[in-house]
Structure 1
Amino acid sequence: MSTVWLFTGDSVTQGALHTFGWRDYTQLFAERVRFELNRPADAVINTGVSGQKVSELDVEGAVLRHRPDVVVLMFGLNDCAAGPAGLPAFVRDYAAVISRVRRAGAKVVLQTPNRAPESGWADLPAYAEAVRSLDADVLVDHHATWDGGEHWMGSGCHPNEYGHRALARNLLRALDLWEPVGVSGSLFIP
């Protein structure tokens, strides 16, 4: 049986620019699932859009038209610019997206955003906490485990190739799809 995995979110999910030509976490996930786990019939679709907020997500056009089995969502980096006053709308809009995805029959994987320099994203911890409060089938708490500092960052809030490897590793572990390098011939780079 094959699975359609759909990823959506902002620029981190889109993987644009700040990976400097390296693969983003969705591409690393696809390699692990489709090649290493020998599930070539699985489909991995990425509809992330740079600058996107959860309130801007076109659930029908970007998600449901692909008939996903699993929807992996990561929002908060752009949303947190609204500050504390924007939190209620963020939670309401995110909950509506989750409800719509579930009504379509897909499982929901929520990811907290990675950490970012406090100067530009001072309200990000509160938005990560809001994501933790939402109803998910699986929660991947990148914000809590982000420990690579500047080594994992491309610029601003965007992970570089090392940060994307960390995102992929956290996601694969949360979904019980992770094996350390060298086990069963895994080529995945930690």
Structure 2
Amino acid sequence: MIVLADGARVMFTGDSITDCHRRETDNPLGYGYPLLVAGQWGLRQPDRAPVWLNSGISGDTLAGLGSRWQADVLDARPDVVSILIGVNDTGYRFSFGHPEVTADSFRTGYRQLLEPLAGVRLVLIEPFLLPVKEEQWAWRADLDAKIQVVRELSREFGATLVAADGMFAELAAGNSPEHWLSDGVHPTPAGHQALAEAWLRQVR
């Protein structure tokens, strides 16, 4: 459980799921789960106002995130860093023929992101997938290995884990996958709401 103090700097970072059109509009938080987290927090805790930041960039892989880590994350001097990354490392392999990002290399690269964050509270969000196309079932084993890495690193670094993959699987069991993740990867409004609520359950 993470306690957010008034003025705490909270950085969301990752790929398009976190970006959610922030760079194409005048809303620096985008229109996805970071905005919903900030809105719900402001409603519930008007006397404590964290500083909400978003440095997600659409299309990023773990390597892409790492290449801008210093400028976009560390230089912002956050008190809390929330990371959601990994599905593109899987998807690009199967959709575009990119080289495989093994679990070991994913672990090494992810650990390099976390090591400079001593004293910073961490929220690690599992990458997630609900196959809506037949070919996406082939992604599952590859992504599962990366999800396991995120779980391992959350324990190693004392991070808070948002178990998003299992959450979406459970939600989709009572509904269509497309209700939550429109293309199997990107959340719908309902999916972003579910992700925001899962995130908020880990803070107070």
| TM-score past 0.5 threshold | yes
1:125 aligns with 2:125: no
Q: Give the secondary-structure state (helix, strand or coil) at the position aligned to 1:165.
A: helix
Letter of the 1:96 partner, please give it: Q
Q: Could you say which residue in structure 1 is the equivalent of 2:26?
A: none
Shift of 1:114: 2.4
Which TM-score applies when normalising by structure 1? 0.81
Q: Tell me, in whole angstroms, the C-alpha distance in 2 between the residues paired with 1:142 and 1:60.
A: 26
1:52 aligns with 2:60: yes
1:138 aligns with 2:160: yes
Q: Give the secondary-structure state (helix, strand or coil) at the position aligned to 1:155.
A: coil
Are 1:33 and 1:39, in contact at CA under 8 Å, matched by a contact in 2?
Answer: no
Identity, % of aligned pairs?
A: 32
| 1:24-49 per-position Cα deviation (integer Å, ceiling 9, x unaligned) | 10001111223431146411111101
Q: Give the secondary-structure state (helix, strand or coil) at the position aligned to 2:148.
A: helix
Shift of 1:12: 0.6
Q: Tell me, in whole angstroms, the C-alpha distance in 1 between the residues paired with 2:135 and 2:164.
A: 19
Q: 1:66 aligns with which of 76, 89, 103?
A: 76
| 1:151-179 per-position Cα deviation (integer Å, ceiling 9, x unaligned) | 1122241111000001001111122x4xx
Shift of 1:59: 1.2
Q: Tell me, in whole angstroms, the C-alpha distance in 2 between the residues paired with 1:156 and 1:61.
A: 31
Structure 2: runs of 5 or more not aligned: 1-5, 23-29, 94-98
Number of equivalences = 170
Letter of the 1:54 partner, please give it: L
| 1:95-115 per-position Cα deviation (integer Å, ceiling 9, x unaligned) | 11011122xx31111010122
Q: 2:115 aligns with which of 83, 94, 99?
A: 99
1:5 aligns with 2:21: no
Shift of 1:130: 1.4
Q: Tell me, in whole angstroms, the C-alpha distance in 1 between the residues paired with 2:181 and 2:64.
A: 25
CA shift in 2, pair 1:10/1:39, >3 Å: farther
Q: Which residues in structure 2 correspond to 1:134-173 (within 5 Å)?
A: 134=153, 135-146=157-168, 147-148=171-172, 149-173=177-201
Q: Could you say which residue in structure 2 is the equivalent of 1:36?
A: 44
Root mean square deviation, CA, Å: 2.2
1:89 aligns with 2:105: yes
Which TM-score applies when normalising by structure 2? 0.75
More helix by share: 2
Write out the 4+ residue segments of structure 1 that deviate beyond 6 Å after TM superposition. Answer: none
Q: Tell me, in whole angstroms, the C-alpha distance in 2 between the residues paired with 1:35 and 1:161.
A: 19
More strand by share: 1
Letter of the 2:60 partner, please give it: Q
Letter of the 1:25 partner, please give it: Y
| 1:105-127 per-position Cα deviation (integer Å, ceiling 9, x unaligned) | 31111010122316233322221
Are 2:55 and 2:73, in contact at CA under 8 Å, matched by a contact in 1?
Answer: yes
